A and B are shown apart, each in its own frame.
Chain A
Amino acid sequence: MYGFEYSKAASAEAAAQSLKDDEDAKVLAGGMTFIPTLKARLAMPTQVIDLNSLPELSGITVTADTVRIGAMTRHAHVAADADVKAAIPALAYLAGNIGDPMVRNRGTIGGSVANADPAACYPSAILGLGATVHTTERDIDGDSFFTEMFETALQEGELIKAVTFKRPDAAAYMKFPNPASRYAMVGVFLSKGSDGIRVGVTGAAPYAFRFAAAETALNADFSTQALENVTIDPDMLNTDMHATAAYRASLVLTMTKRAVDACL
């Protein structure tokens, strides 16, 4: 690791201001991506501001219509929370299958969403549940949050404070994990609610996206047969050492069908 200054955040707003004052400052949430990045000398921040000093950023609030999760809430907490399990069991399942138990004891939803790793699980739920991302500046519609690989709608000096998910009538998360890293080679979060069907896909493309063709087909007929003639263009998908774009295209459809099955 290169050297840097370290401080504990006094508040989310103060941390955001520090980011505005110093463009090379970084905030530390769970650190499950950021600390390995520092160790590999892929980042050289001037200062690291630790958000772990802010318990007010952690916690879960469930209402009749929504589940609000504070940015610093750990994956293990979401996975084990009885209210989340009752309101959106698919979301608890998603959180409980990120990484491994030790990673889930540190990793946070805010860190995962802000980092926007193309293979992270949470982005699929942001899209698949029509979430809203609350920041120190504003509320961002989840549908416009992911913009490029590792790029989001967050501006410099803007910090996520919480995420609110709409409670669906039914939902499922289907993940095809890379056997070594447990990251999603493809993950599909499907929900059925008052706004119709939502299908959020992660792992397949440079950034999470809604599978519009599948949503249209499933809104007309919520069955796996409805997906028989739906295709996805492999040109928009990733190819790497683990899977070709054509294989990922096949996985997206298979995971979507499994998610439909799970909701029937």
Chain B
Amino acid sequence: MTHTITFTLNGEQTTATVTPNHLAVDLLRDDLGKTGTHVGCDTSQCGACTLHLNGEPIKSCTLLAVQLDGTEITTIEGLAKNGDLHPMQAAFKEHHGLQCGFCTPGMIMSGIGIAQRNTTPDDATIRHELEGNICRCTGYQNIVTAIREGAKAMAEV
């Protein structure tokens, strides 16, 4: 049996019809065209699929699409406003917090979560709280710098 769900996706009311065994990330990518949310491992390890559900970072490869009903979802596509990058995106750009870029959407969504939980996180806190995000280029140094500076910029806004 299919279910018709309604949720807010990057500020827009969205309706979709899904089967219960459909994953949230597959709905977003394959059906709604939001391919900014990546699938790295598909086993809840790598964090590339991280998005915000009701403001909190979660792994969308480990959520059923039908569970999106009634929620507010923000993906990487929903961060920039009127062409201006979100402060965390701008910090990743400024500090070159990426190499191949595959993990970057998840890193940015997690980084915003870190900044929301800790106004001025130190490097040890950032590294600990990045446990759920894997960068296979091992470019963590600049990612940590970018999140530290992005958190500062978010606090100033």
Q: Which residues of A contact B (CB under 8 A)?
A: 1-6, 28, 31-32, 35-36, 38-39, 48, 50, 52, 76, 80, 99-103, 105-106, 182
Contact = CB atoms under 8 A, between A and B. Distances in A.
A85 to B, nearest CB: 14
Given A5-B20, A105-B57, A36 B62 contact: yes
Contact of B21 (A3, A50, A106): A3
Contacts of B129: 100-101
16 contacts: A2-B21, A3-B19, A5-B20, A6-B1, A6-B66, A31-B62, A31-B67, A35-B63, A48-B20, A100-B131, A102-B113, A102-B132, A105-B57, A105-B58, A106-B62, A182-B131
Contacts of A50: 66-67
A39 B42 contact: yes
A101 B113 contact: yes
Interface string B63-101: 110110000000000000000000000000000000000
A28 B132 CA distance: 22
B44 A101 contact: no
Most chain A CB inside 10 Å of its own CB: which residue of B67, B110, B113, B117: B67
A110 to B, nearest CB: 17
A80 to B, nearest CB: 8
B62 A35 contact: yes
B114 interface: yes
B136 to A, nearest CB: 14
Nearest to B19: A3
A101 B64 contact: no
B38 interface: no
Interface in B129-155: 129, 131-133
A39 B114 CA distance: 28
Given A31-B64, A106-B58, 14 more contacts: A1-B23, A3-B19, A3-B20, A3-B21, A5-B1, A6-B20, A32-B62, A36-B62, A48-B20, A50-B66, A52-B67, A100-B131, A101-B132, A103-B132
Given A1-B21, A6-B20, A38-B21, A101 B110 contact: yes
Contact of A35 (B50, B64, B114): B64
A6 B113 contact: no
Contacts of B67: 31, 50, 52
B82 to A, nearest CB: 29
Interface in B16-64: 19-21, 23, 42-44, 47, 50, 53, 56-59, 62-64
A4 B132 contact: no
